[in-house]
Amino acid sequence: MMKVYSKSELNSYHLSLTYDDISLVPREISRIVTRTEVDTKTEFLGVNLNLPVVSSPMDTVTGIDMANKLDELGCLGIVNRFDSSLEKVLSNGSGSQGIKAVSIGLTADESVVEKIAGNNWILCIDTANANNETVLKKTEEIKKKYNIKIIVGNVASGETLNDLVNAGADALRVGIGGGSVCTTSVQTGIGIGQVSSLLDVFFAREKHNLKINIIADGGIKNPGDVAKAIALGADTVMLGRLLAGTREAPGEVIKYNDQLWKKYRGSASFGVKMKNEFIEGEETMIPYKGSVENVINAISDGLKSAMSYMNRFTLNELRKVESFAVLSNSSYLERLPKK
């Protein structure tokens, strides 16, 4: 009989694993009759969400429109730090009713942080590596001065979780090298599978009994991956590519080869940096998807259906799943629809 892994067994698997390497294994008689009975609501950093979905603070993913629309849909958008209208919104609050979170870089002005705190928004310190003295210091400084929730990132394992929590981090973006436009792993050799990263942080949190939210960031390609991330214990998922290419994402719709497209690019790509410093991100075109509402509905349906298979009425129940399979390469391929 195939081995069914608990979280802890999966965490000690001898290889690094990512979403495509595993499957949820349904093992109970489900008491759920229809998908409408399951509840995908979750509380995240003081915000009540209908779905555990957070948008990535990338310049081709989350601007003001995306943040407002996601808020309307019960998800959380984090406005990117490059957004040109951010300053205006920060100053006079106009069009900002739906904004709940904003990202900053390490060199952000004190006045920006003050305004974010004044608006009661969540702050995301957007860096490639949270395990860095400067990030810890910045988090500590802001926490001392303001009553504010802080998201930091990114990490690929849980060894430093204590330090991050002590510095005042309320949520942590987990994932290095897994983003769909990320070239970190090829450029630096750093980046393990998302499943292994998530479990390592999850067990570090459990071991030290820490209070910090886990955000599964990068590499999520479909609703099934969202279900897997939550079942692995993540509090929320962070999406880039899945939300890019939608009407609400920043940027123009481009017509090329009789098809409509929108640009999607990494935060460390040349297009964002506009200088020839070290590049760790790519630029690409995504087929235009229409409103982000379609994407969010598809994620919601997929997640609810997963919960129904797994006999889980709430996300907290889903987070306690202890039955995972590791897929052989051919069983992975067998599961995909054929043309």
Q: Which residues are catalytic?
A: 182
Residue among 83 and 280 whose Cβ is closer to ligand IMP:
280
Bridge partner residues of 47 (DSSP) = 44
Distance CA 24, CA 327 (A): 10
| Residue 179 engages ligand IMP in binding (rule: CB under 6 A) | yes
Pick the binder of ligand IMP from 220, 226, 227, 303 (CB under 6 A).
220
**What are the structure tokens assigned to 87, written together?**
């300053």
| Residue 56 engages ligand IMP in binding (rule: CB under 6 A) | yes
Residue among 179 and 193 whose Cβ is closer to ligand IMP:
179
Distance CA 253, CA 261 (A): 6
User: Which element (helix H / strand E) includes 332?
Assistant: helix 329-334
Residue among 90 and 220 whose Cβ is closer to ligand IMP:
220
Apex 14 CA angle, 8 and 16, nearest 5: 85
Short-list 146, 199, 154, 142, CA closest to 179: 154
Residue that is written with structure tokens 């989350």 in the block: 62
Residue 78 CB, nearest distance to ligand IMP (Å)?
9
| Residue 241 engages ligand IMP in binding (rule: CB under 6 A) | yes
Pick the binder of ligand IMP from 18, 197, 269, 300 (CB under 6 A).
269
Answer yes or no: are the C-beta atoms of 25 and 15 closer than 8 Å: no
Bridge partner residues of 182 (DSSP) = 281
Distance CA 186, CA 91 (A): 40
| Residue 168 engages ligand IMP in binding (rule: CB under 6 A) | no
Taking CB under 6 A as the binding criterion, the range among 21-29, 108-116, 212-220, 253-261 that sits at the site for ligand IMP is 212-220
Per-residue x/- mask for ligand IMP, residues 76 to 115, rule CB under 6 A? ----------------------------------------
Interface with ligand IMP by CB under 6 A: which residues?
Answer: 56, 58, 154, 173, 175, 179-182, 184, 217-220, 238-241, 266-269, 280-281
